[in-house]
Amino acid sequence: MAKKLMKGCEALGEAAIQAGCLHFFGYPITPQTEVPEYLSRRLPEVGGVYVQAESEVAASNMIYGCAAAGVRVFTSSSSPGISLMAEAVSYMAGSQLPVVIVNIVRGGPGLGGILPAQSDYWQATRGIGHGDFRVIVLAPSTVQEAADLMIEAFDLADQYRNPVMIIGDGIIGQMMEPVEFKKREKKQLPEKIWAASGAKGRAANKIHSLFLDPVKLEQHNIFLKKKYDEVEKNEQRFELYNTEKPYDLLIVAYGTMARICKTSIALLQEENISIGLARPISLYPYPYKAIQEAARKAKQVLVVELSMGQMIDDVRLAVEGQRPVHFYGRSGGMVPSPEEVCRELKRILAQKT
Amino acid sequence: MEAIFSRPKAMSSTITHYCPGCTHGIIHRLIGELLDEYNLKEKTVGVAPVGCAVLAYNYLDVDFIEAAHGRAPAVATGVKRGRPDLFVFTYQGDGDLASIGMGEIIHAANRGEKISVVFVNNAIYGMTGGQMAPTTLPQQVTSTCPQGRDVQTAGFPIRMAELLSSLQTDSFIARVSSHSPRNVIEAKKVLKRAFGYQVSGRCFTLVEFLSTCPTNWGLPPKKATEWLEQNMIPYYPLGIFKTPEEGKVK
């Protein structure tokens, strides 16, 4: 397919279709409403099903049912809506259902604002809902990457029987960029023999997260932990930028913020200041080792986020106190310019360490 | 020897956890018998509630999904839209359907989801031990209205069958009771009609069953059936409220 200029939200919707997902249940909320809008006209064209739910609570439970029946399905929302979906995400993780959830993050807390933010990092990477579980979280920094990760998300969900979240700040959802949907090889995935799809010629399947016997619930928790260990071993994704030559400072940033930081790095390059960048793509599993190794090559680390400092917790865990970790962030929908980040970098570099 | 009575094929040979005198077991059996009669065992997905029937998936031998409290109609919507060829039913109590799940049931009915809802109304929360339900009768004593339900602060009990019948979308809505053999026989006929509408892809269907809860009502089983007849039926009249052919009939 040729390159096409698309809004991030529309590219996510089209990518789902390209991934063979023909079922969408959602609820409008800014700044992701273009996902349901796009799919409400596109899905009927390809024989798919679009349902506008009465709430995010209902939408997330609809994808629970659809996934339980063995059908590829996804939903999309933004921060306050994701909070409402937390209940079903916990049930889906507990009953091991493959679903994809898009969160186009807006500022918070509460109703917050409608402009880009990265303030749902904690929520996304610490499981979203109640109980001991993990959601695979992928954070694109371009519209093309959003489309690519979206397609991959469905395979990951099926492979690990686990919810996968695509997390993008509002800019990823709203920005228009050229996208190409490349032909890809179909991945070998396990058959959904566990699905509640009519017990024909087999024992009945029961999809549930209830284990009244504590011995069985603990066994279930241990089983899930083993799965997450596998995810952590196999699915860490990150990009290193400008780290081939020596650098004084390492920036850690993701999503749109990482992109802005790349411009800052180029600007400082002209002044012979060398800065490296580590961009986590999988926020869970977090690429701790890669961040640690990249940090060790620098004297200090700066975490830049569209929040008051959330991912910095993981960077500190990665760095293990071996380097000073600074933070710079804007929030509430404010997005720093590359020059603003440059000023902060210079300020830190001028300090005696 | 010819067997003249046996367990329906769609039921497991598990002993239920229900209290003596509770009618969940009877209602389960009606579902089992009808799944056999319509030959649906291999294409059915049930959705279990949170409440006393949370373990319904252990008693009916068909594919099952355990939903979060009140969300069964949304879960069933997901199954049916994903696999319209399947027979999909939810089984929900009064707290599940008429309190926490009020939004989900109204919108599933209003969208005309081609699912069947078995709604069990025993006017109390069973599993948590006898608290006030949205269907608890005025002055009825429960552990969270020890002086009796005060309609000035708790409002009146909600008549779900009537409320859902007021929607314009085609549906089949009825209320039956499970407290006597005669009522059970009638209930089966009504539930059979409801399931039939789903089998033919016609409309949303809901059958409300009045049911007893001797344990949490604090009554012996026989007294409980009398209490249901004397107190619940006058407030919750039995009958068919809406059909896809005639619209609202009651």
Distance between start and end Cα atoms, chain A? 52
Establish if A192 belongs to a structural domain: no
* pLDDT average, residue stretch A175-185: 92
Establish if B193 belongs to a structural domain: yes
The CATH number linked to B180 is: 3.40.50.970
The string of pLDDT tens digits covering residues A33-53 is: 999 999 999 999 999 999 999
> Are residue A327 and residue A227 in the same domain, yes or no?
no
Q: How far is CA A190 from CA A161, A285, B143, in A?
A: 9, 22, 49
Establish if B19 belongs to a structural domain: no
φ and ψ of A28, to 5 deg: -65, 135
Q: What is the pLDDT of residue B19?
A: 96
Q: Which domain holds residue A51?
A: 4-186+209-234
Number of domains within chain B? 1
Establish if B71 belongs to a structural domain: yes
Q: What is the pLDDT of residue A353?
A: 55
A352 pLDDT more than 80: no
What is residue B239's three-state secondary structure?
Answer: strand
CA–CA gap between residue B106 and residue B160 (Å, rounded)? 9
Establish if B33 belongs to a structural domain: yes
CA–CA gap between residue A187 and residue B53 (Å, rounded)? 40
> Are residue A316 and residue A256 in the same domain, yes or no?
yes
CA–CA gap between residue A80 and residue A85 (Å, rounded)? 9
Establish if B112 belongs to a structural domain: yes
Q: What is the pLDDT of residue B139?
A: 98
**A97 interfacial to chain B (CB closer than 8 Å):** no
Establish if B184 belongs to a structural domain: yes
Q: How many CA atoms lie within 13 A of A130 on its CB side?
A: 5
Neighbours of B168 (CB within 10 A): 9
Residues 6+ away with beta carbon under 8 Å from A223:
none
* pLDDT average, residue stretch B110-123: 98
B222 pLDDT more than 80: yes
Establish if B152 belongs to a structural domain: yes
In this structure, are residues B46 and B57 in contact, taking their beta carbons and an 8 Å threshold? yes
Establish if A199 belongs to a structural domain: no
In this structure, are residues B117 and B107 in contact, taking their beta carbons and an 8 Å threshold? no
**A201 interfacial to chain B (CB closer than 8 Å):** yes
> Are residue A176 and residue A282 in the same domain, yes or no?
no
> Are residue A113 and residue A223 in the same domain, yes or no?
yes
**Domain end point (choices A234, A249, A270):** A234
Establish if B147 belongs to a structural domain: yes
* pLDDT average, residue stretch A4-29: 97
> Are residue A64 and residue A162 in the same domain, yes or no?
yes
Q: What is the pLDDT of residue A80?
A: 97
User: Which one of B83, B86, B97 would you mutate to disrupt binding with A, by most A Cβ within 10 Å of its Cβ?
Assistant: B83
> Are residue A98 and residue A246 in the same domain, yes or no?
no
Establish if A49 belongs to a structural domain: yes
**Residue A183 confidence class, pLDDT cut points 50, 70, 90:** confident
User: Which one of B11, B13, B45, B97 would you mutate to disrupt binding with A, by most A Cβ within 10 Å of its Cβ?
Assistant: B45
Q: What is the pLDDT of residue A36?
A: 97
> Are residue A81 and residue A172 in the same domain, yes or no?
yes
Q: What is the pLDDT of residue A142?
A: 98
What is residue B146's three-state secondary structure?
Answer: coil
> Are residue A101 and residue A220 in the same domain, yes or no?
yes
Establish if A264 belongs to a structural domain: yes
Establish if A289 belongs to a structural domain: yes
Q: Residue A54's closest CA among A26, A24, A91?
A: A26
Query: Beta strands of chain B (E only): which ranges?
Result: 44-48, 63-66, 87-93, 116-121, 171-177, 204-210, 239-243, 247-248
Give percent of chain A above pLDDT 90: 97
> Are residue A229 and residue A248 in the same domain, yes or no?
no
φ and ψ of A265, to 5 deg: -65, -40
A235 pLDDT more than 60: yes
φ and ψ of A122, to 5 deg: -60, -50
CA–CA gap between residue A75 and residue A56 (Å, rounded)? 9
Nearest to B79 among A53, A68, A91 (CB): A68
> Are residue A180 and residue A268 in the same domain, yes or no?
no
The string of pLDDT tens digits covering residues A240-272 is: 999 999 999 999 999 999 999 999 999 999 999
> Are residue A225 and residue A288 in the same domain, yes or no?
no
Q: How many CA atoms lie within 13 A of B110 on its CB side?
A: 13
Q: Residue A150's closest CA among A340, A13, A255?
A: A13
Q: How many CA atoms lie within 13 A of B198 on its CB side?
A: 32
**Residue A127 confidence class, pLDDT cut points 50, 70, 90:** confident
**Residue A232 confidence class, pLDDT cut points 50, 70, 90:** very high
Name the amino acid, one letter, at A136: I
If you search the block for the tokens 């344990």, which residue do you land on?
A: B215
Establish if A201 belongs to a structural domain: no
The string of pLDDT tens digits covering residues B171-199 is: 999 999 999 999 999 999 999 999 999 99
**Residue A2 confidence class, pLDDT cut points 50, 70, 90:** confident
Task: Supply the mean pLDDT for chain B.
Answer: 97
The CATH number linked to A105 is: 3.40.50.970
**B47 interfacial to chain A (CB closer than 8 Å):** yes
Chain B: closest CA distance from residue A74 (Å): 11
Number of domains within chain A? 2
* pLDDT average, residue stretch B1-9: 91
Per the model's pLDDT, the better-predicted residue between B183 and B250 turns out to be B183
Task: Supply the mean pLDDT for chain A.
Answer: 97
Q: Which domain holds residue B169?
A: 24-248
φ and ψ of A46, to 5 deg: -110, 20
Interchain contact, A196 vs B48, CB within 8 Å:
no
What is residue A196's three-state secondary structure?
Answer: coil
Q: What is the pLDDT of residue B229?
A: 98
Query: Beta strands of B20-75 (E only): which ranges?
Result: 44-48, 63-66
**A73 interfacial to chain B (CB closer than 8 Å):** yes
Establish if A165 belongs to a structural domain: yes
Name the amino acid, one letter, at B142: T
Name the amino acid, one letter, at A261: C
Q: What is the pLDDT of residue A194?
A: 98
The string of pLDDT tens digits covering residues B50-85 is: 999 999 999 999 999 999 999 999 999 999 999 999
The CATH number linked to A289 is: 3.40.50.920
Establish if A269 belongs to a structural domain: yes
> Are residue A220 and residue A278 in the same domain, yes or no?
no
**Domain end point (choices A201, A217, A234):** A234
Helix (H) or strand (E) holding A150: helix A143-160
